[in-house]
Amino acid sequence: MYANLAMELDTAKYVIEKKALKPCDKRMIIVDMRKERPKDISKACRLLKLSRSSLCYTSIKDDVTVMVQLENLAKQNPVEGFWKCYYRIRNTGTVINHKRLHRVYKRWACPCAVR
């Protein structure tokens, strides 16, 4: 009983000190908590208000094709900005969300000009 209360108190202190946590941050906290008490997965998820299915979730994003297209455009037209790259990719027939493309564009640090 005391161990459970101590765990809840430690976790609450850690969470309260921080800003609102993203699910990936919550997963990291739960991984740290599992080192101390490996059987308390459901309790840790309940404390952080994270479902167990979210704990096991792995992303299936595959941005390799988008990165290849951006790289080709950067080689062909190095002075064009993000939006021109976006419309050129869309004109080839690839349906892609501009937010997804911008995420890949920023992560890759594309040499295209930023306007």
Q: What is the pLDDT of residues 85-110, one digit of tens each?
A: 899 999 999 899 999 999 888 887 76
Does 56 score more than 80 pLDDT?
A: yes
Q: Tell me whether residue 36 is in a domain.
A: yes
Residues 51 and 15 in one domain: yes
Give the span between the Cα atoms of 63 and 104, in whole angstroms.
7
The answer to whether 84 and 105 are in contact (CB under 8 A) is no
Q: Tell me whether residue 114 is in a domain.
A: no
Which of 44-48, 71-75, 95-99 tops mean pLDDT? Answer: 95-99
Is this prediction's pTM over 0.95?
no
The answer to whether 47 and 11 are in contact (CB under 8 A) is yes
pLDDT score for 52: 85
Residues 70 and 52 in one domain: no
The answer to whether 96 and 102 are in contact (CB under 8 A) is no
Residues 49 and 22 in one domain: yes
Give the span between the Cα atoms of 31 and 103, in whole angstroms.
27
Q: Tell me whether residue 46 is in a domain.
A: yes
